Amino acid sequence: MFDTGIGDEREHSSSFLYLSVPLYALREILFAIRARDWTRVNATIQESRRTLGGCRETIRVEIWYGYRIDGRHYAGRLIRDRVLWGVKKVIDRYSLGTNVAAWVNPADPNESYLPSGIGYFEPLLIAIVDIGVLVVLVGIPATIIASYFHR
């Protein structure tokens, strides 16, 4: 196959307020919308893995896949962060050597989309909680500062 250059480092630390979870979900939604009219190709899973995250870390799933267009080999990568469930299902779905459908941008064969199969409930919930926490983190100092100047 080909060398993905991933290496053996499989640790992934959590992001601030788990912001990566809704951001990766939003990125996938936008890719799915753009890829609706792209060319469907057969791809082969080159590597499928999750990080060694613990109870206070997000868990990242990374899927590397390869496909051919006009005799040239291309590679794509799917990344999604999770806090709760769903990673094992994706790893099982995209196990090494599995043939899958991917969508490739006909104008740029380096750009491709592979659906993760992970739902959007958790990223939406985390985004709502993140916004609430940010409002509190910004609101408390702003209230203290405003009350100081209104004396």
Whether residue 129 has pLDDT greater than 90? no
Q: How many CA atoms lie within 13 A of 59 on its CB side?
A: 17
CB atoms inside a 10 Å sphere around CB 59: 21
Is 0.85 topped by the overall pTM? no
Whether residue 1 has pLDDT greater than 50? no
Whether residue 9 has pLDDT greater than 60? no
Predicted local distance difference test score (pLDDT) of residue 6 = 43
pLDDT digit string (tens) for 11-68? Answer: 545 555 566 666 767 777 787 888 889 999 999 999 988 776 555 566 778 889 999 9
Question: 7 falls in which pLDDT band (50, 70, 90)?
Answer: very low
Question: 5 falls in which pLDDT band (50, 70, 90)?
Answer: very low
Nearest to 53 by CA among 83, 94, 23: 83
pLDDT digit string (tens) for 65-106? Answer: 999 999 999 999 987 766 555 677 788 888 899 999 999 999
% helix, strand, coil for the chain, step of 5: 40, 30, 30
Which is more confident, 144 or 20? Answer: 144
